[in-house]
Amino acid sequence: MAWNERVRPETDASEKRSAGKGVFRKCDGCGETLTSEAFAKNFEVCPQCGQHHRLSAAEWRRLLLDGGSFAEWDPHLEPADPLQFTDGRSYPDRIAAAQRATNAKEAIEIGRAAIDGVGIAYGAFVFSFMGGSMGSVVGEKITRLFERALAERLPVVLLQASGGARMQEGILSLMQMAKTVAALGKLRDSRLAFISVCLHPTTGGVAASFALLGDVNLAEPKALIGFAGPRVIESTIRQKLPEGFQRAEFLLEHGMIDRVVPRLSMRQELATILRHLR
């Protein structure tokens, strides 16, 4: 299994199967065992300790967007196999498996939506699709998100959750960093707002390109945000990193993001920012 496919399955390993598959789950934060229904009703935030567990793209739409829906742009785009990559399993096979598991064509969805009556160009990564990795299609859709926002004079709200560049596409994946940032530059020249929301994790080429270039950069509590992981950095510089390094609260303290926003407050926070930036 490739590194970027090690994602949480639909049925969490911490579920108490003795009481029925999927009925109970253990919180990653406090260890409390609660019903799966309790987590779902609270948008995957532990009611006991506030630990934020991963939320699907569909549930993010339900939490944030007016009517819980959006008009999707470019859903037909699917990846090709330009490098004929294989690591014991072909790239097309991995794509097909991810599509079956997630019911998504790629690791991002984009479209037109509204938050509290304010029209936006909206995008959200699908982390369960190959770790939210950015290949040529993800880069193209983000570029189109910025370009469509410019054409329709809309602010952009983009939710990131990614392990970084998709290794099966090699340099074509890395090229998306420059491509997306160039499109963002044109949006900025027109003085249209870009609100970046960094979820757990926001890493690699996504963090190193557009994720921290928002006019306003928000993050969820304890989200891991950075280029290389802490263990890689420690082994490279041979130094112990500070407590909480690369977590959202650390980045806020050091001026890299603007606010840490609890998930259940995110819709109101975005609505307030959008009204101010009109």
- Which tokens belong to 108? 């991002």
Question: What gap in Å lies between CA 259 and CA 194, rounded to an integer?
Answer: 15
Cα distances (angstroms) measured from residue 43 to each of 37, 48, 80: 10, 13, 34
E-strand ranges in the chain read 24-26, 33-35, 71-72, 108-115, 118-125, 156-162, 194-203, 216-219, 225-226, 259-260
Which pLDDT value is given to residue 21? 54
Which pLDDT value is given to residue 13? 42
Nearest to 26 by CA among 244, 224, 17, 248: 17
Bridge partners of 72?
111
- For 149, residues 6+ apart whose C-beta sits below 8 A from its C-beta are 121, 155, 156, 187, 192
Domain boundaries, the chain: 1-53, 55-276
Tally of CA atoms within 13 A in the half-sphere of 21 that contains its CB: 2
Q: Which CATH class is domain 55-276?
A: alpha beta
Tens of pLDDT along the chain (278 residues) come to 344 444 444 444 444 444 445 799 999 999 999 999 999 999 999 999 999 999 999 999 999 999 999 999 999 999 999 999 999 999 999 999 999 999 999 999 999 999 999 999 999 999 999 999 999 999 999 999 999 999 999 999 999 999 999 999 999 999 999 999 999 999 999 999 999 999 999 999 999 999 999 999 999 999 999 998 888 899 999 999 998 999 999 999 999 999 999 999 999 999 999 999 98
Question: What gap in Å lies between CA 121 and CA 112, rounded to an integer?
Answer: 5
Which pLDDT value is given to residue 2? 42
